[in-house]
Amino acid sequence: MTAKFMASAPETGNSPRLSWTNVVFFTTFHALALLAPWFFSWTALGLLVFLHWLFGSIGICLGYHRLLSHRSFQVSKGVEYAIAFIGALALQGGPIFWVGGHRQHHAHTEDIDLDPYSAQRGFWWSHMLWIFYPRSQFFDYDTYQKYAPDLARQPYYRWLDRYFILLQIPLGLLLYALGGWSFVIYGIFVRAVLLWHSTWFVNSATHKWGYRSFNANDGSRNLWWVSIVTYGEGWHNNHHTYPHVAKAGFSWWEVDVTWWSIKALKTLGLAKKVVMPPS
């Protein structure tokens, strides 16, 4: 999922209105990402791959999703805060917004009104239109924070939720200092666009295509190519059947790169109470 960037647009009854602020924001990022061929370098490409993994797998999949949303394992508060900071750098919203929305998705999966990105509204709605037509119950802080009270009680998470977008400024300055505009284009704009669509495919594609290992009470499916671009999140039928399990890939062929990082944290003694799939 992706984020609250501005307040939700006004609504007429149950019909949300188009948010031109969100349209302009995402269109600008996509347009600047198209400059990539003119700023190409192999080091910039390597930076893109690294940041896509760091912000996507560690920040979003491991941090926002498996740690904060589902509490599928435990780490110290310092490690948790560091991982959440990496997640905020992904530009997919603050942690309270992300977690609150994701918990609503699991509580009301595919409900046309109560699931923020319900697949019942169609592929493009669940992929990205839910951001362009934001509804107040999913984008207003006073509402979505009720689904993440464990985070909303903590000043650090309230700060990240409010100012996450400003973190791109020092990141951009650092990237410019290290590699000029090439690093900025690839490390900010191309990275953000590719990571957005990677994450959005979990909302859209894995509720439409793939196979089902479990008879979950929704249309979630396991889709191999989404798992590749999301570091294991594409094994969505597994996840919806056992949402509090730290491991998403259950069979040997269901590669789950994010799980490897959780295993590493456990081996180093940094993660404990890791929830495993049933035997």
Q: For 49-81, what is each residue's pLDDT tens digit?
A: 999 999 999 999 999 999 999 999 999 999 999
Question: Is residue 188 pLDDT above 50, yes or no?
Answer: yes
- The 10s digit of each residue's pLDDT in 229-256 is 999 999 999 999 999 999 999 999 999 9
Q: What is the pLDDT, as a whole number, of residue 2?
A: 47
pLDDT-wise least confident of 1-15, 58-72, 127-141, 151-165:
1-15
H or E element that contains 1: none
Model pLDDT, residue 14: 61
What 3-state DSSP class applies to 12? Answer: strand
pLDDT score of 16: 81
Per-residue pLDDT tens digits for 20-37: 999 999 999 999 999 999
pTM of the model: 0.93
Question: What DSSP line would sit under 50-104, residue for residue?
Answer: HHHHIIIIIIIIIIIIIIIIT--SB--HHHHHHHHHHHHHTTS--HHHHHHHHHH
Three-class DSSP category at 15: strand
Helix 42-53, helix 168-184: angle, nearest 10? 150
Domain range summary for the chain, segments of one domain joined by +: 29-267
Q: For 139-159, what is the mean pLDDT?
A: 97
Q: Indicate if the pLDDT at residue 5 is higher than 70.
A: no
- The percent of residues above 70 in pLDDT, for the chain, comes to 95
Whole-angstrom CA distances from 67 to 192, 219, 238, 244, 256 are: 22, 24, 17, 9, 15
Q: How confident is the model at residue 1 (pLDDT cuts 50, 70, 90)?
A: very low
Residue in the structure block whose two tokens are 């990496």: 86
Q: What pLDDT, in 10s, does the model give residues 103-140? A: 999 999 999 999 999 999 999 999 999 999 999 989 99
Contacts 24+ apart (CB under 8 A), 218-226: 218/109, 218/110, 219/110, 219/119, 220/109, 222/254, 226/198, 226/201, 226/202
